[in-house]
Amino acid sequence: MILALGLALGGCWGEKAIDVNLVLPSAAVSATYDTSCVTAVEIYVDGKNYPTDDNDFLRDCIDLTKPGATFQDIKNQIHGQFDTKIPTSGLGGIELFAYNGSCGASRHRDYDLIFYGSASYTGGDELTLPITPNINCTPLDVTIRPIDILKYVKTQNCAMSTWTLGKIALSTLSPLPFTDETYWWGGQSSAPATTGLVTLRGAARDVGPNSCLAIGLYTDDWNEVTCTPPADQRMCATGAEVEAPMINDIVGYATGDPSIINQYGGLVVGAVVGPGPIAGATVTIDPDYADRGKVVYFDMPPGVENGTGALTARAEQMTGPTGRFGIYTMSIVRFTVTAGGKTMKRTVGGNEDALTALFIKL
């Protein structure tokens, strides 16, 4: 089988040709996106056993020779450039990622994903691959206020809850094709958090419909990522500042239950506040997302706010005096928080190897 796309993929099924057609965003959408920072385009040819067998794929990647200011420019550059075989299990689907890194990068996490696309192969002579924008290359100045949610719950004082550890980076959380998992991209635009207020210039505008603008934290590695909250859900940020709730990673990793992480993925630690912590709140994952995560509730023993020990699981299925809850997930999930006759609906992205923190303001 041969796939021609501009993607020319060779297989062992004879010389039957399948045309892969890249469908670009509409003219109106394309006009708002700058893609000139894209330096590599990568494809994954997934076998029929993927994702049950997560090794059933083949990869190919090309570094662009010149900037492509538009989706069409990049489409023209990659036309006929790929030459990848099909897995022995057969063709299950194709994934495409365009980012501002290099094909030889040791990990994608350090770069911004600009656009992506995927499609399952269901037979026939054609496969249509729609392209989804993720973020705009045109840089934006962003001021970030990272807040320690452990210290805030203890003190209810923003000045005493300033986060100053590691470095802060602009990122996005985006869904991976054919699974419910998310992946986070970013890290090029970063700065130390030592002053408690971080100003970055980088990709932060026109976030795609299935992604969220996120803030990453690097201490000894990229250990945390959190979707930026709506303006009305900020506790300490003011004006145009972006708030980034953070949790001490020693406490966070000590808190996580390995057996639940193995089933659902990483840990999201939340605090229901208004402005002080709210007891008696319940958290419910929306029905369409119920199989993607598990809700738990925590107490906060004295001293944990100083970065030692761990949050402890509550038997009662509601928040305690510190307003703490957790969601184990490695996906994008929507959930509802209810307390005292008030409700708040939020969306959060979890990740299998990074912590997430957030406030729920009622």
Which pLDDT does position 259 carry in this prediction?
Answer: 95
Looking only at Cα atoms, what is the longest distance across the chain? Answer: 69
Cβ pair 331, 182 in contact under 8 A: yes
pTM: 0.91
Which pLDDT does position 21 carry in this prediction?
Answer: 86
The 10 Å Cβ neighbour count of residue 15 is 8
Q: What CA–CA distance (Å, rounded) separates 38 from 279? A: 47
The 3 state secondary structure assigned to the chain is CEEECCEEEECCCCCCEEEEEEECCCHHHHCCCCCCCCCEEEEEEEECCCCCCCCCEEEEEEECCCCCCCHHHHHHHHCCCEEEECCCCCEEEEEEEEECCCCCCCCHHHCCEEEEEEEECCCCCEEEEEEEECCCCCCEEEEEEEEEHHHHHHHCCCHHHECCCCEEEEEEEEECCCCCCEEEEEEEEEEECCCCCEEEEECCCCCCCCCEEEEEEECCCEEEEEECCCHHHCCCCCCCCEEEEECCHHHHHHHCCHHHHHHHCCEEEEEEECCCECCCCEEEECHHHHHHEEEEEEECCCCHHHCCCCCEECCCCCCCCCCEEEEEECCEEEEEEEECCEEEEEEEECECCEEEEEEEEC
Superfamily of domain 140-361: Immunoglobulins (2.60.40.10)
What does the domain layout of the chain look like in residue ranges? Answer: 2-133, 140-361
Q: What is the mean pLDDT of each run of 10 residues along the chain (362 residues)?
A: 47 57 92 94 95 94 90 91 84 94 88 95 89 96 97 96 96 91 91 94 93 93 92 95 96 96 94 96 97 97 95 97 97 95 94 92 94
Which pLDDT does position 5 carry in this prediction?
Answer: 53
Q: What CA–CA distance (Å, rounded) separates 332 from 78? A: 31
